[in-house]
Amino acid sequence: MARAAINIVGATGAMHDLTSLGGSQVDSYRKDVGVYCITGSKGMVPFPPIDQGWGYSLHPSENKADVTINFDADLLTVTVTMDGESYDLKTMITLHILVPDLPPIEVPPVVVDPAENAQAEITRLRAAADYAIAPLQDAVDIDEGTEAELATLKAWKKYRVALNRVPDQEGYPLAIDWPAAP
């Protein structure tokens, strides 16, 4: 069973809203003065420690009303009286109820294409290499590259060539020996 909270409008008995951790096939109606019926529930949330929220709550302006709750034959009946007389709430009542658990959702297994994943990783690593190479190549192209920049540029270009050769490896795409970035 899952928990839910339903707000019932006092004047009409209509469901104002439902917050559910399970099924949502819950409805309500006003049967008579001060008598509200809830269908689709499995009764009230059983008594846990008070800090977990259970039972019902009324608007503070109507907290002197007496509430009796009965669950029989899948019908939850809430009877409200004030000073011994049947009483239609002027605001609403919030009930903490039980509802059926949602059925498990069948999620089809995700089919992963190893070649597609490998190619996406090559593309990602290649973009990083291209990003590192561009400013180094610019410095070399305008004859301002230092010896360290030339060495770094060469290392990145070797890495990029190794990435382009990954699909040629034996066992690709299931077994890949990824080159190390400089």
- The string of pLDDT tens digits covering residues 134-172 is 999 999 999 999 999 999 999 999 999 999 999 999 999
pLDDT at 104: 87
- The string of pLDDT tens digits covering residues 16-31 is 999 998 888 999 999 9
Average pLDDT over residues 65-73: 92
pLDDT band (50, 70, 90) for residue 54: low
pLDDT band (50, 70, 90) for residue 48: low
- The string of pLDDT tens digits covering residues 123-134 is 999 999 999 999
Q: What is the mean pLDDT of the chain?
A: 92
Three-state secondary structure of the chain: CEEEEEEEECCCCCEEEEEECCCCCCEEEEEECCEEEEECCCCECCCCCHHHCCCEEECHHHCCCEEEEEEECCEEEEEEEECCEECCCCCEEEEEEEECCCCCCCCCCCCCCHHHHHHHHHHHHHHHHHHHHHHHHHHHHCCCCCHHHHHHHHHHHHHHHHHHCHHHCCCCCCCCCCCCCC
pLDDT at 33: 96
- % pLDDT > 90, the chain: 76
pLDDT at 50: 53
Please state the pTM of the whole predicted model. Answer: 0.57
Average pLDDT over residues 54-65: 88
- The string of pLDDT tens digits covering residues 84-114 is 999 999 999 999 999 999 888 898 998 889 9
Report the C-alpha gap between 61 and 88 in whole angstroms.
Answer: 13
Whether the pLDDT of residue 1 is over 90: the answer is no
